[in-house]
Structure 1
Amino acid sequence: MIAEERRERILREIVMRGRIEVGDFAARTGLSGMTIRRDLAVLADRGLIRRVHGGAVLPDTAEAPATGVRGIGSSTRPLATIGLIVPDAGYYFPPLIRGASEAALAAGVRLVLGTTNYDPAEETRQLHRLSAGGADATMLVTARPDVVDQELWRAIAAVETPVVLVERAADGAPTSLRIDAVRSDHAFGAELAVDHLAERGHRSVGLLCRETATAPWIAKGHRRAVERHGLASAPVMTAPSPRWGDDSRADVLREFLDACLAEGVRAAVVLPDELAIGLLSVVEERGLRVPEDFSIVAYDDEVAALASVPLTAVDPPRTAVGRRALETALMRLERRDDAPAHRIKLAPSLHVRESS
Structure 2
Amino acid sequence: MSTPNQPVAATSSALPERSPGLLVYACGVGTTALVLLLVQALNGTGFNAMGLYANGILPVGAILVGVASGVGYALGSRFLNVKLSRGFVFGMLATGVGDWFALQYFEYASILEHYRVAPTALGFFDYLTQTATSMSFARAGSSSEGVELGRAGYFFKALELGGFALGTMVPAWTLFAMPYCRRCRLYLKADGTSFVRSAVLQAEVMKLGRFRLKSPEREALLQTAQAEVRRRAVEVFAQIERAPLAVVRSVLAGLDGAASRKDKPAAQVSICLKKCPRCESHHLVATLATFAANGRPATGEVFKLDKTQGYSEPAAAPAEAS
Same fold (TM over 0.5): no
Structure with the larger strand share: 1
TM normalised by structure 2 equals 0.24
Of structures 1 and 2, the one with the larger relative CO (CA 8 A, separation 6+) is 2
TM normalised by structure 1 equals 0.22
